[in-house]
Amino acid sequence: MGQLIGKVAVVTGASTERGIGNAIAQRFAREGASVFLVAEGTVEQLEKVRNECRNHPEAGRIEYGLFDLSERGAAERMIEEAARRFSRIDVLVNNAGIRAAYDFGDYTRDTFEKVVAVNLAAPFFASQAVLPIMRRQGGGRIIHIASQLGHVTYAKRALYGLTKAALIHLTKSMAYELGREGIMVNSISPGPIKTQFIIDRSAREPEEAERRLKTYVPIGRLGEPEEIADVALFLATTNAMYLQGEDICVDGGYTSH
C-alpha cells in the first residue's frame, strides 16, 4: 500500500460503472495517488467515482473534469486543467475509447473521424501536452489502453481494431523517443473484460456470449476490470525502466492462438 503517495495521475474514461478507467482510478487512489478523473459522462457519474476513490484511506486529492475528447483541443485542455489543479502529473492513463461495430463498407466518414478522434488523436495530443510537465519533473509514466483487437481481427471491428493497432505503434514510437528522458511509455491490451457494456450484451445474447468465451478465451472466463488495474499499477510504479514500448496483453489467452 502507498506506492503512489505524492504522485498525481490523470485517468481518462473514468466515469463508467464497472469500467476499466474506474477500476484504475480506484486502484491508484488505494495506493495514495491524487487522481484527476476525466470523462464526457455526467457530473453525477464522476461525483460517484470521486466519492468511491475518496473512501480509500490512503487516497490523495480526487478531482474531476468533463471533457469530450472527440473535440479538437480537448485533450490539451484536459492536461492544462490537471496541471493547474495539481501542479504536476506523474502518470497519464489514456483509457477513454469508443466502439463502432459495422460491416466493412458501412462506415461513414463521421463515424471514422469520431472513433479516430477519441481512440487515437486524444491519446496522441494528451501525451504531447503532458511532455513539458514530465520533462520538468525529470520523468513520468504514460500508459495507453489498447485492445487485443489491435493484434487480431474480429467481425465488425475493422475501425476499432485499426485505432488500437495504431495506438500500440504510437506506444513504441513514443518509448523510442522518450525513454532517455525518464519517461516510460507502455500499453495494455485488454481482452474481453466484464465491463458494464459486456455484462449488458451478454445478458441480451447469453448463448452467443458463451460461444465467444469457449471459442476465443482459453482461460474460459471474462476478465475483471481490476485485473487491468493491477497491470496499470505495475506500470505506474515499477522501477524496471528498461520496460519500454511494450504492449501487455491481458486477455485470458485470446491472442495465443
Catalytic center residues? 160
How far is 238 from 3, CA to CA, in rounded Å? 10
DSSP string, 117-129: IIIIIHHHHHHHH
Scored b (16 or more CB within 10 A) or e, 201-219 reads: ebeeeeeebeebbeebbee
Q: Which residues contact 217 (CB under 8 A, 6 or more apart)?
A: 191, 192, 251, 252, 253, 254
**The three grid cell numbers given for residue 5, joined into one nine-digit string:** 503517495
Q: Torsion angle, CA of 151/112/70/97, rounded to 10 degrees? A: -30
DSSP of 17-42, one letter per residue? TT-HHHHHHHHHHHTT-EEEEEESS-
Joined grid coordinates for residue 2: 502507498
Alpha helices in the chain (DSSP H): 20-30, 43-54, 74-86, 109-116, 122-137, 158-178, 196-204, 206-216, 225-237
Angle between helices 158-178 and 122-137 (to 10 degrees): 20
Count CA atoms within 13 Å of residue 189 on its CB side. Answer: 26
